[in-house]
Chains A and B, each alone.
Chain A
Amino acid sequence: MIREYKTIEEVAGPLMLVKQVEGAKYDELGEIELPDGEVRRCRVLEVNGRNVLVQLFESAAGLNIANSKVRFSGHGVELPVSPNMLGRVFNGMGEAIDGGARIIPEKSLDINGTPINPAARYYPSEFIQTGVSTIDGLNTLVRGQKLPIFSGSGLPHANLAAQIARQAKVRNTDDKFAVVFAAIGITFEEADFFISDFKKTGAIDRTVLFINLASDAAIERISTPRMALTAAEYLAFECNMHVLVILTDITNYAEALREVSAARKEVPGRRGYPGYLYTDLATMYERAGRKMGSDGSITMIPILSMPEDDKTHPIPDLTGYITEGQIILSRELYRKGFLPPVDVMPSLSRLKDKGIGAGKTREDHANTMNQLFSAYSRGKEAKELMVVLGEAALSPIDRLYAKFADAFEAEYINQGFYENRSIEETLDLGWKLLSILPRSEMKRIKPEFIEKYWPKEAHA
């Protein structure tokens, strides 16, 4: 029998204390019934004797201490899942909000998931072609990778994420593909941008959306990404689909977490974020991957906006320690009008080495990638020197490097959000740009590749 308690003692911020409770379990889902019959959800944060501290998932407005009732469900927070979730829209707590037919669940899954045994993982190595040169050519994405986009306010991360969702494919396969999209505290306009983009391209039919808007309860955001990941895990590991998960914006998530931590008066780590922010983020990010016993995969693109474009802020910093690389957007490139403004030097894909090369992309990929990086780096240094000392101070070769850097930004980085380049186009473009430089400068490329791929006509 489920017991009801009318012993709410305190409500403060997102926390509520209930006294004289028997048998509540840690992390259990609870329901609060208001005097008017409205039901809100909560979760047990701490059991201390008969006192139970719970965290509300919705706002506390209208909650009456004297007359509200609390009951505990006997299980954790769960998401009912079914293959019919594709094409549907849910709120941050996993309830359908698109007015469609009720979903008949196959099963209910705990939203916290369980850690993947590292001995049961497959190392991600299948190349995903996103059609974006700066990603495919230099920071290659592979199936099962978690690669965040570090952005800032006012930068077009949404366009880049939508472009990836639209264009991403593994070549020469017709595997089932799905997108799970979680809007975490973003504005209606930004969410609408994604939804209408998915509708326009028809991707909406293979997309599951979880929407928690800026106007929704902040505290609900703690479960939104976990709802989305639970749906993704179901689709990937039980329905054997390849799932791309886009989470935006992680910064809002971390702030909701900070709110709860502050309300509990926990000792804060850096900038007031709780000391367990790393662990907490890791339990989400690590749910990406491929594992034995299933053909599916979860590839994750979390988006976060760096406060003040500061990469050392705890949220991007801790994220970078967990994820397998990062794509960083540059305000400078954006101002110059180069889209997508991917800052290639600090961007990185840790898993690229095993996803590129003969049989995956092309034999010359690794060599040209290294050469492009080093040439662009030297070109940028030359340009900096040019600012201080004038063009005359540069040696002829450095002048060529400066020219290369400009062309690289204008042609390689700058492709717009609607151009879909194949990996061959990206690699050939790399060769074309490298041919601005003398052939003797190609120290990082094996001579046989230079012989084979060096453009026949010199760069105009």
Chain B
Amino acid sequence: MVEGKILKVSGPLVVAEGMREANMFDVVRVGEKKLIGEIIEMHGDRASIQVYEETAGIGRGDKVVSTGAPLSVELGPGLLSNIYDGIQRPLEVMREKYGSNLTRGIDEPALDREKLWHFEAALKYGDEVESGDVLGIVQENEVINLKIMVPPKMKGTIVDLKSGDFRVTDPIGKIKLSDGNVENLTLLQKWPVRLARPYKEKLPPVDPMVTGQRVIDALFPIAKGGTACVPGPFGSGKTVVQHQLAKWSDVDLVVYIGCGERGNEMTDVLREFPELTDPRTGKSLMERTVLIANTSDMPVAAREASIYTGITIAEYFRDMGYSVAVIADSTSRWAEALREMSGRLEEMPGEEGYPAYLTSRLAQFYERAGKVVCLGSDGREGALSAIGAVSPQGGDISEPVTQATLRIVKVFWGLDATLAYRRHFPAINWLNSYSLYRDRLSGWFKEHVSKSWMDYTARCLKTLQLEADLQEIVKLVGMDALSPEDRLTLDVAQSIREDFLQQNAFEGFDSYTPLAKQNALLELIFTYEDLARDAVKKGADVESVCELPVHERIGRAKAAPTDSYEAEYASIKNEMVSQLDELVAAAKED
């Protein structure tokens, strides 16, 4: 056990001497209060330590003791439905034991040491196993079967394994390793957060992560195992978009990292998710969710760690063959934490004071996403999708964090303050957002939704682009200067914006739209366009077409109940036909 003495304290940075024997990135306990820290630099026998708790009251000469192990998370039954801080301390337990404010130097295990879990063994004596093989199952809750796996880097023969009720640290069996040593197996595994968990092989992502958010699924889809970012100024609805993704994405598990954001937002998730039902399982959404909270008033160094804590937990579930989404709100706060530590280490700054390694750290984070063949002999596949919010200062996306992120991620959902002021939500700007997965996912959409899906969505994008061009003209010379065709284009674009893209996160059937309904809604809008163009060609007055009463029903179509929208849409189409026919007939009489 290496023990040193403190030389320097500057905010979350502590320098200690007498640490020559300690390892880089070892966790240390600082001072009498035993604050948790991590060695981030070594110079001779001096170690620079970032401390994950407030350092007030620490001074020269205080003791620093290395634990000899890197910052790790505990993986096993009990993670789900839980809320942790940035270094995986259980916040509910801390509240019960230590009151409603966070006190320092608390050391609580992440997983309950007393609770018994029922383990059902899947293997038996004499089975040859390699790392990743499923030893057995713990039914953690009604939604998730937790697969207990042989830890990475282990290979050998099972010499003992039994079903039964165990605490997380109890031995459930023994494995004889290839080198002859026998080791105990437990439900609990530990893994260092800064190291990506291994897998066999990475695969290209080919299936979409369906979110039920129309602008995302139809225009800028994300793949399972893909990466996306959501930059936007404050008030543009970043958090609502993130919450919607956490609620409705068709993944098995969600790890939600509140990184340097508002305390009340985490509370909102914590109080609201248990009340919501997952449309696919019919169970509470909280049962598939793990929350990591480092709110903006919590110590800044732990913010840096929270991202890694979250993604390591997600990788653990991915290794079981699940599809997992990591949602990080916001990576800008994480980058600022890096900047603060870098400044205190007196490193040479890059752009806007951010350290020069900002881009590579961001890339490392997002590269831990992906669709993979997991370890284990059964060849199961898991996917980890990563979605990061970015909070650019002043909404200016030319700043370093957004730019560095855009170089890595494949999907960009750019939030726009002007849309938000007009109460167009989700305020994802259709002109500058993009998804590089559109082509790769087209096969899936054609097979599982409809053959025309890709055409409809491409037509949406094209119409919206045309609208932007036409708006320029309208601003200069007024609406009257447009040809009837162009006038109709504006009408259809408005319908796409208001009746399709706008989606109310807080309203019953509108909050989540299944793909089939999205497709039907698009079909409805484009049927209108085709019929309207035809009617105008036959002489109908374009202004009258744009003011047809059927528009109001199209406008309410998105809120139609999921199980009965088809009849409603068919009836709207009939009304469209008859109203347009009347106009054509009237035109012929004139």
Contacts and interface: CB of A to CB of B under 8 A. Distances in A.
Interface stretch (B54-62, B151-159, B432-440): B54-62
B340 A47 contact: no
Interface stretch (B166-174, B258-266, B358-366): B258-266
Nearest to B340: A276
A353 interface: yes
A229 to B, nearest CB: 11
A268 interface: yes
Contacts of A278: 260, 296, 333, 336
A389 B479 CA distance: 10
Interface string B327-344: 000000100100110010
Contact of A123 (B268, B295, B417, B478): B268
Interface in B83-100: 83, 91-92, 94-95, 99-100
A116 B349 contact: no
A121 B101 CA distance: 10
Contacts of A317: 233-234, 393-394
Interface in B1-33: 6-11
Contact of B9 (A46, A287, A313): A46
B137 interface: no
B323 interface: no
A23 B423 contact: no
A217 B434 CA distance: 51
A98 to B, nearest CB: 31
Nearest to A270: B393
A26 B552 contact: no
Nearest to A286: B297
B57 A115 contact: no
A121 B8 contact: no
Contacts of A329: none
A322 B475 contact: no
Contacts of B66: none
Contacts of A325: 235
B293 interface: yes
Nearest to A322: B296
Nearest to B266: A118
Interface size for chain B: under 10, 10 to 19, 20 to 34, or 35 or more residues?
35 or more
A345 interface: yes
Contacts of A289: 263-264
Interface string B216-240: 0000000000000000011100000
B407 interface: no
A123 B263 CA distance: 9
B519 interface: no
B83 A119 contact: yes
Interface string A103-121: 0000000101111111111
Interface in A210-256: none
Nearest to B395: A312
B544 interface: no
Given A76-B56, A278-B333, A119 B353 contact: no
B60 A47 contact: yes
A117 B394 contact: no
A28 interface: yes
B295 A286 contact: yes
B100 A370 contact: no
A199 interface: no
Contacts of A50: 60
Interface string B275-316: 000000000000000000101111110000000000000000
A292 interface: yes
A49 B10 CA distance: 11
Nearest to A45: B10
A49 B475 contact: no
B56 A116 contact: no
A57 to B, nearest CB: 16
Interface in A258-317: 266-270, 275-276, 278-279, 282-283, 285-287, 289, 291-294, 311-314, 317
A440 B297 CA distance: 48
A117 B343 contact: no
A373 interface: yes
A353 B267 CA distance: 15
Contacts of B300: 276, 279
29 contacts: A27-B55, A27-B56, A45-B10, A46-B10, A47-B8, A47-B58, A48-B8, A115-B298, A117-B100, A117-B101, A121-B263, A121-B266, A122-B267, A267-B343, A276-B340, A283-B297, A286-B295, A286-B296, A289-B263, A293-B99, A293-B100, A312-B233, A312-B394, A324-B264, A326-B235, A346-B417, A346-B421, A377-B422, A393-B478
Interface of A: 22-28, 45-50, 76, 110, 112-124, 144, 266-270, 275-276, 278-279, 282-283, 285-287, 289, 291-294, 311-314, 317-318, 320-322, 324-326, 345-346, 348, 351, 353, 370, 373-374, 377, 388-389, 393, 440, 443
Given A27-B55, A119-B270, 14 more contacts: A23-B59, A49-B60, A117-B91, A118-B258, A275-B343, A276-B336, A278-B296, A282-B296, A286-B297, A291-B100, A313-B394, A317-B234, A320-B233, A393-B480
